[in-house]
Amino acid sequence: GTIGTTPVYIGAAQFAAWKHTQLILDVVEGRGGMFSLDNGTGRRFLVRSRAYGEREIAMLHKADRLRAMQASIDSDTDAFWLAEAHRLDWSVFPTKADESSFGKADFGIRWFADGELNVSVNCLDRHLETRGDQPAIVFEGDEPGEGRTLTYRELHGEVCRFANVLKANGIGKGDRVILYMPMVPEAAIAMLACARIGAVHSVVFGGFSPDSLADRIADCGATLVVTADEGTRGGKRIPLKANVDSALERASGVDTVIVMQRTGGQVSMREGRDIWWEDACADVSGQCPPEAMNAEDPLFILYTSGSTGKPKGVLHTTGGYLLWSTLTYDLLFGPEEGRDVADDLFWCTADVGWITGHTYVVYGPLSNGARTVMFDGVPNYPDPGRLWETSQRLGVTIFYTAPTAIRALMRHGDRWVLQHDLSSIRLLGTVGEPINHEAWEWYHDIVGRGECPIVDTWWQTETGGALIAPVPGATETKPGSATLPLPGVHPELVDGEGHLLTGATEGNLVLTRSWPGQMRTIFGDHDRFFQTYFSTFPGTYFTGDGARRDEDGYYWITGRVDDVINVSGHRMGTAEVENALDEHVLVAEAAVVGMPHDIKGQGIHAFVTLKAGAEGSDALRQELRDLVRSEIGPFATPDVIQFAPDLPKTRSGKIMRRVLRKIAEGQPDQIGDTSTLADPAIVESLIEGARV
Instruction: Give the residues lining the site for ligand WTA (CB under 6 A).
Output: 304, 354-356, 431-434, 456-461, 482, 543-545, 557, 559-560, 566, 571
Strand order of the β-sheet with 8-10 is 8-10, 53-60, 42-49, 24-31
Least Å from the CB of residue 459 to ligand WTA: 5
For ligand WTA, the closer CB: 258 or 374: 374
What are the DSSP E strand ranges found in 119-175?
A: 135-140, 147-151
Give 457 or 514: the residue with its C-beta nearer to ligand WTA: 457
As measured in angstroms, the least distance from the Cβ of 562 to ligand WTA is: 9
Residue 28 CB, shortest distance to ligand WTA, in Å, is 43
- Shortest distance in whole angstroms from residue 462 CB to ligand WTA: 7
Q: Which is nearer to ligand WTA, 135 or 364 (CB)?
A: 364
Question: Which residue, 150 or 350, has its beta carbon nearer to ligand WTA?
Answer: 350
By three-state DSSP, how is residue 250 classified?
helix
Alpha carbon of 373 to those of 139, 150, 400, 418, 664: distances in Å?
6, 10, 11, 22, 39
* Residue (of 330, 143, 356, 115) closest to 232 by Cα position: 143
Pairing of strands 601-610, 640-643: parallel
Closest approach of Cβ 350 to ligand WTA, in Å?
8
- DSSP, collapsed to helix, strand or coil, labels residue 408 as helix
Pick the closest to residue 235 from 258, 207, 263 (CA basis): 263
Q: Is 639 helix (H, G, I), strand (E, B) or coil?
A: coil
**Residue 558 Cβ vs ligand WTA, minimum distance, rounded to whole Å:** 8
Nearest distance in Å: CB 657, ligand WTA: 17
Pairwise CA distance, residues 59 & 36, whole Å: 12
Under 8 Å between Cβ of 45 and 10? no
Nearest to 119 by CA among 28, 193, 38, 173: 193
Instruction: Spell 31-59 as b/e; 16+ CB within 10 A means b.
Output: eeeeeebeeebbbbbbbebeebebbbbbb
Q: Provide the residue type at 509 as one letter.
A: L
Q: Which are the contacts of 359, defined by CB distance < 8 A and separation ≥ 6?
A: 325, 328, 329, 464, 465
CB of 325 to ligand WTA, least distance (A): 12
Q: Which is nearer to ligand WTA, 203 or 682 (CB)?
A: 203
Which is closer to ligand WTA, CB of 301 or CB of 482? Answer: 482
Return the number of the residue (157 or 403) whose C-beta is nearest ligand WTA: 403
Is 432 or 616 the residue whose CB approaches ligand WTA more closely?
Answer: 432
Q: Which residues partner with 353 through β-bridges?
A: none
Q: Tell me whether residue 311 or residue 384 sits nearer to ligand WTA (CB atom).
A: 311
Of the pair 280, 467, the CB lying nearest ligand WTA is at 467
Using DSSP, state whether 546 is helix, strand or coil. strand
Report the nearest approach of ligand WTA to the CB of residue 369 (Å). 23
In whole angstroms, the minimum distance from the beta carbon of 480 to ligand WTA comes to 9
Strand runs labelled E in 69-223? 116-117, 135-140, 147-151, 176-180, 200-203
Q: CA geometry: angle at 244 spanning 523 and 349, to 5°? A: 70
232 versus 326: smaller Cβ distance to ligand WTA = 326
Which are the contacts of 367, defined by CB distance < 8 A and separation ≥ 6? 87, 88, 119, 122, 123, 322, 325, 326, 329
Name the phi and psi angles at 375, rounded to 5: -115, 125
State the nearest-atom distance from the C-beta of 434 to ligand WTA, in Å.
Answer: 4
In whole angstroms, the minimum distance from the beta carbon of 414 to ligand WTA comes to 24
Kindly state the smallest distance separating residue 636's Cβ from ligand WTA, in Å. Answer: 14
526-546: b or e for each residue (b if 16 or more CB lie within 10 Å)?
eebbbebbbebbeebbbbbbb
Please report which helix (H) or strand (E) contains residue 278, including its range: helix 277-281
Sort 137 into a burial class: Cβ within 10 Å, 0-12 / 13-18 / 19+.
Answer: buried
Closer by beta carbon to ligand WTA, 49 or else 430: 430
Residue (102 or 458) nearer to ligand WTA, CB: 458
Q: Angle between the 152-168 and 185-197 helix axes, to the nearest 10 degrees?
A: 60
